[in-house]
Amino acid sequence: MTEMLGEHDLDDMFDIDGDAERNGGGVVDDPYPIWAELLKQGPVHKGGIGGLTGRENDRGTMYIEGAVHYSVLGFAGVSEVFTRKEDFDSGHYQDMGTFTDTILAMDGSGHRRYRDLIQEHFQPAQASGWWRENVISGLVEELVGRFDGKDAVDLNSQLFARLPMQTVTAGFGLSAQEGLDFRKGLLAAMNHLTPPQEKMEQMQAATEILENVIRERQTEPRDDVISRLVKAEMKEEDGTTRLLTVSEVASFCKLIVFAGGGTTWKQLGITTFGLLNNPEQLEAVRADRSLLAKAILEGARWYPNDPVFARKAMRDTELQGTKIPKGAIIHLCLGAANRDPARWENPEKFDLFRPVQRSLAFAAGAHSCLGQHVAREEMLGAINALLDRYPNMRWDPSMPPAKLSGGLISRGPGPLHVLLN
Ligand code: HEM
């Protein structure tokens, strides 16, 4: 039986508006109409996405003090920035001081060599094989099983917030409590309100949790990702190979436990929100489960949980007709790009029947999301289990209506109150 998380702390850690405050930008009602208007005026604008969205004081949105900022909103422009690796790199992560020692902040052959080491554990076959069989199915069974005997639940806090965090935690071989303590420390270290000294201490404490588990697995390996990483052979530029150090393994874990636990919960809620608000689409999925994969892709296009990322210009260059100076920070508005009317008809509508076209929810190019297939398996597992057990599941009319909320870089649902029977 997989270890379950306790009740404490979860509400606070998986609160979408709390996320917005922690990121430093605060809650934003609905940025999409403003982004659509900006895109109508042009694909590239001078200024950070915070200021352009009418939030001049928003310093949380991947804003780098002292840098010139540009924002890209069209599908073609955002795709270009992700893939023109000779012009744009991930140097902004170094400037932001977050995840500086992880693959997210690396570029070129260093990024490739490190990513190659971990990628094999996240391929589609691994996601629908090892991850689903050893981790996801059991967790879904237990979490949805807790609904037995209940008529009404909040899907967000009781299922969606828990499953992704527990999936990465268990997949990496951390105990549920270690995973929770790690995430708490990391969130405190990244909170813009935490004083600098405390940030360092929190990051150190979070890293220590990981390093202790890594040392244990070096002597007593198990069937988990950390045990595989401690045995993985890193190929250096000169062709020699070596094992990863404890702190290199910890860097992988830090990023993945954070990225895996902090994203899919929102996307699970967004897809479910889209389906429950469109009963004819929900009915179609109930009748033909092969449509669920399309609904998941459409949810990620329509409302990507993290709608803004960034890159740094490595040289003076040009983007979609706009000159960009070396050193500029480019805000990539995936949310706007995923609703570019040049690519999608009625882009603001959640419609799983639209022709499938790749969106940018999982980025593109060298840094495209490593965990996207695992995320997909989690979403398929959880929503299928709900539809199997509760064919009559619907919004609970006695509770406040569900809504999508958050800040500019992290969005998703608050409570999702449903009647099960
Ligand atoms: C629906 C859920 C998810 C979404 C929408 C998402 C989205 C993204 C995006 C947009 C990026 C690109 C970041 C950049 O280039 O700056 C990214 C990178 C990444 N994601 Fe995800 N992600 C999700 C789930 C996951 C999961 C479940 C994991 C791990 C289990 C994960 C691990 C990663 C990692 C490690 C990277 C960095 C890849 C690299 O730099 O080469 N993600 N993700």
Best mutation site among 79, 111, 263 for ligand 1 pocket (most ligand atoms within 8 Å of CB): 263
Give dist(CA 33, CA 29) in Å, integer.
10
Are residues 373 and 127 in contact, defined by beta-carbon separation less than 8 angstroms? yes
Nearest to 118 by CA among 205, 41, 231: 231
Model confidence pLDDT, tens digit, residues 375-398: 999 999 999 999 999 999 999 999
Give dist(CA 368, CA 385) in Å, integer.
28
Residues 6+ apart with CB under 8 A from 191: 22, 199
pLDDT recorded at residue 2: 45
Instruction: Indicate the domain borders of the chain.
Output: 10-22+30-419
Model confidence pLDDT, tens digit, residues 336-368: 999 999 999 999 999 999 999 999 999 999 999
Q: In the CATH scheme, what is the code of domain 10-22+30-419?
A: 1.10.630.10
pLDDT recorded at residue 9: 60
Residues 6+ apart with CB under 8 A from 205: 185
Nearest to 168 by CA among 100, 263, 93: 263
Query: Is 374 touching ligand 1 by the criterion CB < 6 Å?
Result: yes
Query: Is 166 touching ligand 1 by the criterion CB < 6 Å?
Result: no
pLDDT recorded at residue 130: 98
User: What is the signed CA dihedral for 13, 156, 363, 61, rounded to 10 degrees?
Assistant: -40
Q: Which ligand 1 atom is at minimum distance from the Cα of 103?
A: 40
- Tell me phi and psi for residue 239, to 5 degrees: 95, -15
3-state secondary structure of 46: strand
Q: What are the structure tokens assigned to 234, written together?
A: 């890193």
Best mutation site among 61, 88, 312, 372 for ligand 1 pocket (most ligand atoms within 8 Å of CB): 372
Average pLDDT, the chain: 93
Which amino acid is it at 225?
V
pLDDT recorded at residue 18: 77
Query: Is 412 touching ligand 1 by the criterion CB < 6 Å?
Result: no
Cα 397 to middle of ligand 1, angstroms? 35
Model confidence pLDDT, tens digit, residues 275-307: 999 999 999 999 999 999 999 999 999 999 999
Query: Is 91 touching ligand 1 by the criterion CB < 6 Å?
Result: no
The residue whose CA has the least distance to atom 37 of ligand 1 is 104
Cα 23 to middle of ligand 1, angstroms? 18
3-state secondary structure of 329: strand
DSSP classification of residue 138: H
Cα 78 to middle of ligand 1, angstroms? 16
Beta pairing class for 394-395 and 417-419: antiparallel
Specify the residue for token string 């549920």: 176
Query: Is 361 touching ligand 1 by the criterion CB < 6 Å?
Result: yes
Q: pLDDT means per 10 residues in the chain (421 residues)?
A: 52 73 81 98 96 81 89 98 96 85 92 93 97 98 97 96 93 90 86 86 91 95 96 89 94 90 95 98 98 98 97 98 97 98 98 97 97 98 98 97 94 96 95
Cα 395 to middle of ligand 1, angstroms? 30
Give dist(CA 190, CA 185) in Å, integer.
9
Query: Is 375 touching ligand 1 by the criterion CB < 6 Å?
Result: yes
Best mutation site among 62, 81, 249, 370 for ligand 1 pocket (most ligand atoms within 8 Å of CB): 370
